[in-house]
C-alpha cells in the first residue's frame, strides 16, 4: 500500500475527508515552497500537491500559468524541486505528490522519475496529460515502488473511458469539477454532486474533486459526496505576494486553509 492508500484508509475509518492544497514549486523560490508545505501540514492539510512548472501547462488557468512562468524564469530545475521535497517529506507526516506533465516524466524516463520520487519519500504523482496507451506501463512502474498514480476524470470523459482510467489509477481519482481550466469560481456546476456520486459507484478508489473550489460554501456542498477536495488557484494567488512579506503570506494562507478545514 502507498502512503496515500494508508491516508484514505485512516480518513474513512474516522469518517473524515481530505483537504489537499496545491502549490507551485519554486514560486517564489524553493525555500518558500518548503516553508509553505510545513505551514499547510501544520494546519491539518491531509496531503499536498506540488506543481512541477512546465512551459506548456495542461488545463491550468492564468493564476497557475503565471506562477509556472515566474518559477521557470528564475531557473527552477526538476532535480532541485525533488531534492527540496525530499527534505520536507522527512519533516512532515503529510504525503506529498507531484503534479507533473507526462512530457517531463517521458524526458526523464518512467523508471528514473519514479525512482526519484521513491528515494525521496514522496507518495506519488498526478499526471493530467498521461496518454491512454502509456497509462498501464506507468501504473506498473508506480505499483512496483508503492507510489500512487493519480489520474483525472472530467465532465466530458465518456463513462467507459472513466472506468478504464480508474482501473489504471491508484491512491485516488481526481475528478475535475468543470470542463475548462483551473481557477477560483463563485458557483460550481449544478450536476456536480450527481456526477461524483456516479463515479464513486464505478470504483473502490477514493474520489477527490478539484478545479474551482475556493470557498467554505463549496466545502460544505461537496464534503458529503467526496473523499477529498483540492484547492489550488486560491492558494497560488495568495502566494504570489510572497516576495518581501513571507511571514505574512504564510499566516494568510494558513488561516485560509484553516477556514476551509473548519467547513468540513
Contact predicate 138/109, CB 8 Å: no
Beta-strand pair 124-126/152-153: unpaired
Answer yes or no: 167 catalytic: no
Options 49, 56, 129, 146, the catalytic residue = 49
C-beta separation of 222 from 199 below 8 A? no
Residue with cell string 458557483: 187
Nearest of 29, 72, 66, 16 to residue 232 by alpha carbon: 66
Q: What's the rounded Cα separation, in Å, for the pair 260 and 264?
A: 7
Cα angle, residue 121 at apex, residues 28 and 110 outer, rounded to 5° = 85
For residue 223, the tally of other CB atoms under 10 A from its CB is 17
Single out the catalytic residue among 60, 80, 146, 255: 60
Cell of 259: 477556514
> 3-state DSSP call for residue 6?
helix
Asked about 49 being catalytic, the answer comes back as yes
Q: CB-based burial of residue 86 (10 Å sphere; 0-12 exposed, 13-18 middle, 19+ buried)?
A: middle
Active site residues: 49, 60
Amino acid at each position: 500500500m502507498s502512503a496515500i492508500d494508508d491516508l484514505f484508509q485512516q480518513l474513512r475509518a474516522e469518517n473524515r475527508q481530505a483537504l489537499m492544497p496545491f502549490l507551485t514549486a519554486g514560486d517564489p523560490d524553493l525555500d518558500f515552497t518548503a516553508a509553505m508545505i510545513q505551514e499547510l501540514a501544520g494546519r491539518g492539510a491531509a496531503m499536498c500537491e506540488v506543481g512541477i512548472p512546465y512551459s506548456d501547462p495542461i488545463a491550468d488557468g492564468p493564476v497557475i500559468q503565471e506562477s509556472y512562468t515566474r518559477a521557470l524564469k528564475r531557473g527552477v530545475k526538476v532535480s532541485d524541486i525533488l531534492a527540496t521535497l525530499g527534505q520536507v517529506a522527512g519533516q512532515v507526516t503529510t504525503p506529498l505528490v507531484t503534479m507533473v506533465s507526462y512530457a517531463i516524466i517521458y524526458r526523464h524516463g518512467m523508471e528514473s522519475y519514479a525512482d526519484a520520487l521513491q528515494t525521496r519519500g514522496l507518495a506519488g504523482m498526478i499526471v493530467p496529460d498521461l496518454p491512454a496507451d502509456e497509462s498501464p506501463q506507468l501504473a506498473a512502474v508506480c505499483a512496483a515502488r508503492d507510489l500512487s498514480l493519480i489520474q483525472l476524470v472530467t465532465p466530458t470523459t465518456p463513462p467507459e473511458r472513466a472506468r478504464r482510467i480508474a482501473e489504471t489509477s491508484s491512491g485516488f481519482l481526481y475528478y475535475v469539477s468543470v470542463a475548462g481550466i483551473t481557477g477560483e469560481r463563485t458557483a460550481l456546476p449544478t450536476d456536480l454532486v450527481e456526477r461524483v456520486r456516479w463515479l464513486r459507484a464505478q470504483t473502490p478508489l477514493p474520489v477527490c474533486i478539484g478545479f474551482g473550489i475556493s470557498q467554505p460554501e463549496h466545502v460544505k456542498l461537496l464534503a458529503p459526496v467526496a473523499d477529498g477536495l483540492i484547492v489550488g488557484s486560491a492558494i497560488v494567488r495568495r502566494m504570489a505576494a510572497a516576495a518581501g512579506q513571507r511571514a505574512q503570506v504564510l499566516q494568510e494562507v494558513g488561516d485560509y486553509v484553516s477556514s476551509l478545514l473548519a467547513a468540513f
